[in-house]
Amino acid sequence: DAGITQSPRHKVTETGTPVTLRCHQTENHRYMYWYRQDPGHGLRLIHYSYGVKDTDKGEVSDGYSVSRSKTEDFLLTLESATSSQTSVYFCAISDLLRAGLSYEQYFGPGTRLTVT
Partner 1 sequence: EDQVTQSPEALRLQEGESSSLNCSYTVSGLRGLFWYRQDPGKGPEFLFTLYSAGEEKEKERLKATLTKKESFLHITAPKPEDSATYLCAVLSGGSEKLVFGKGTKLTVNP
Binding flag, residue 41, partner 1 (CB under 8 A): yes
Q: Does 102 bind partner 1 (CB under 8 A)?
A: yes
Q: Is 110 one of the binding residues for partner 1 (CB under 8 A)?
A: yes
Phi-psi region of 110 (alpha: psi -120 to 50; beta: other; left: phi over 0): left
Exactly one of 12, 50, 69, 95 binds partner 1 (CB under 8 A); that residue is 50
What end-to-end distance do the CA atoms of the chain give, in Å?
33
Q: Does 31 bind partner 1 (CB under 8 A)?
A: yes
Q: Is the peptide bond before 109 cis (omega within 30 degrees of 0)?
A: no
Q: How far apart are CB 57 and partner 1 at their closest, in Å?
A: 10
Residue 64, interface with partner 1 (CB under 8 A)? no
CB burial of residue 2 (10 Å; 0-12, 13-18, 19+): middle
Site residues (CB under 8 A) for partner 1?
31, 40-45, 48, 50, 56, 58-59, 90, 92, 101-110
